[in-house]
Amino acid sequence: MLRGFYFITDASLSKAGIISDVKEACRAGVCAVQYRNKYISTKLMIKEAMKLRKICRRELFVINDRIDVAQAVKADGMHLGQSDMPVSLARKILGKDKIIGLTIHSMAQAEEAVSCGVDYLGVAPVFTTNTKADAGRPVGLTLITKIRKKYKIPIVAIGGINLVNAQDVIRAGADSLCAISAVVGKSNIKAEISRFLKEINLGLAS
């Protein structure tokens, strides 16, 4: 389900706009698209998300934080942060067939998330990142390895990941990774993701 490159939209970094970015990401072969746009109204979010839903035919399509938007556009699921809606409530609202991912920053949070029945863990930030102001202190590769040794749940790594350290992240135990500033801010998103996919595949093969 989640193996490869996990794409997250970022309107502030985008050069061509979110719609164009997602089209290029899907052409590159990403495994998932997370729609995140905190700069527009709910009405416009739903309109934009509906367009993205049509683009993501094979890719997992999840909405960041906004369960109302996820329901409105019939997304595959949603992604939550530690300060967002509790996983148990999100599951009650969305139902058992929808995907729920949760960002975690420690082993204790990972254990709680698994016990709550999340479908995947977003481990963040792996390295220092400037993309998200409240990302927190880097958790490093050790946390990924600890989680992988204990659980089979899919792990999505995010935060400060680039082409130099991508293989290390996969070797540590991550199933997929996300690189926002290293991809969204570039002029050729498809080409950048293709480079990451090459590193991911090398990491999986080693």
Task: Output the pTM of the full model.
Answer: 0.96
Question: pLDDT band at 131, cuts 50/70/90?
Answer: low
Confidence band (pLDDT; 50, 70, 90) for 133?
low
Share of the chain above pLDDT 70, in %: 98
Rounded average pLDDT over 96-107:
98
CA–CA separation, 17 vs 86, rounded Å?
Answer: 31
HSE of 5, CA atoms in CB hemisphere, 13 A = 33
DSSP 168: H
Domains in the chain: ranges and CATH = 4-205 (3.20.20.70)
Supply the mean pLDDT for the chain: 96
pLDDT digits (tens, 9 = 90+) for 165-194: 999 999 999 999 999 999 999 999 999 999
